[in-house]
Chains A and B, each alone.
Chain A
Amino acid sequence: NAGVTQTPKFRVLKTGQSMTLLCAQDMNHEYMYWYRQDPGMGLRLIHYSVGEGTTAKGEVPDGYNVSRLKKQNFLLGLESAAPSQTSVYFCASAPGGTGNEQFFGPGTRLTVL
C-alpha cells in the first residue's frame, strides 16, 4: 500500500496563478483533511471531508476550495494564489469515527512569488 500520496512535491507560482494539489489514499478511509504548516504555528486545518461528495471548512479556509468526487481523492485548489499562501501543505486521511489517528502524506512545498 502506498498510504497517502500527494502531487506535486514542490511548486512555485506567481501571484494570481491558480493550481490544484492532489491527495490520494489507498486505505479506503472515509475522512480526509488538508492542513498547512507554517514556521512556529504547527499544522492548521484548511478543509476536510467526511465522505465522498462532502466537504467542510476548517480553521483557515479562505482562499482555498476543495472537492472530493471520489472516495480516494481529495483535491485542494487555489484560484488566485497570494504570497500568504506560501507554505507546506499536508494531506491526511483517517477511518470513520473519532477513535483513530490520522495518516499523513509527504507534503507539498508551495512558494508564491
Chain B
Amino acid sequence: EDKVVQSPLSLVVHEGDTVTLNCSYEVTNFRSLLWYKQEKKAPTFLFMLTSSGIEKKSGRLSSILDKKELFSILNITATQTGDSAVYLCAVKFGTSYGKLTFGQGTILTVHP
C-alpha cells in the first residue's frame, strides 16, 4: 500500500531553536515530493523535490530528498513564532494526473 508518514506528529520549541521535520514514503513510481505549510486555512506551497541530494532553500527553510532511503527532511533554523503551523508532506507517484498523497502532518508550535 502506498503511504506517506511524517514524524514527529507534533513538536514544541522556543524561538531561535532549529527543527527538523521528517517525511518517509513507500510508493511505486515516485515522481516528486512536496512540502506545504498550513496556518489555519489553505496549505501554501514551500518546496518541490524531484532529485536526490539537491537542497532547496528559502530563507530559514531548507529541504532535501533522499530517493535511495525514501525520505525527505524539512529544516527550519532560528525559528520564529510565525513558523507555528502544520507542515504537510505530499508525494506524487505512479501515472497519476498530479494527484498528491499526503502524510498526517507535523504540528509545530514555537513559543516566544
Q: Are A45 and B43 in contact (CB under 8 A)?
A: no
Range, interface on chain A: 20 to 34
Interface presence of B41 (CB below 8 A):
yes
Whether A98 touches B43, Cβ cut-off 8 Å, given contacts A42-B102, A42-B104, A43-B102, is no
Q: How close is B72's CB to chain A, nearest CB, in angstroms?
A: 15
Range, interface on chain B: 20 to 34
Q: How close is B9's CB to chain A, nearest CB, in angstroms?
A: 8
Q: Mark B55-73, 1 if CB is under 8 A from A, else 0.
A: 0000000000000000000
Interface residues of A in 40-93 (CB under 8 A from B): 40-45, 48, 50, 56, 58-59, 90
Q: Which residues of chain B come closer than 8 Å to A101, judged between CB atoms?
A: 34, 45, 48
Q: Which residues of chain B come closer than 8 Å to A44, judged between CB atoms?
A: 102
Q: Are B102 and A98 in contact (CB under 8 A)?
A: no
Q: Are B41 and A106 in contact (CB under 8 A)?
A: yes
Q: How close is A100's CB to chain B, nearest CB, in angstroms?
A: 7
Whether A98 touches B97, Cβ cut-off 8 Å, given contacts A104-B42, A104-B43, A105-B42, is yes
A50 to B95, CA, bound (A): 13
A37 to B92, CA, bound (A): 18
Task: Name which residue of chain B comes closest to A40, CB basis.
Answer: B104
A40, A45, A50: the one within 8 Å of B100 (CB): A45
Q: Are A42 and B103 in contact (CB under 8 A)?
A: yes
Whether A90 touches B42, Cβ cut-off 8 Å, given contacts A42-B88, A101-B34, is yes
B32, B41, B98, B104: the one within 8 Å of A41 (CB): B104
Q: Which residues of chain B come closer than 8 Å to A33, judged between CB atoms?
A: 99-100
Q: Are B103 and A107 in contact (CB under 8 A)?
A: no
User: Most chain-A Cβ atoms within 10 A of its Cβ — which of B88, B102, B103?
Assistant: B102
Q: How close is B49's CB to chain A, nearest CB, in angstroms?
A: 11
Q: Are A98 and B105 in contact (CB under 8 A)?
A: no
Whether A107 touches B42, Cβ cut-off 8 Å, given contacts A33-B99, A94-B98, is yes
Q: Which residues of A contact B (CB under 8 A)?
A: 4, 31, 33, 35, 40-45, 48, 50, 56, 58-59, 90, 94, 97-107
The 4 closest A-B pairs by CB, nearest first: A42-B102, A104-B42, A43-B102, A101-B45
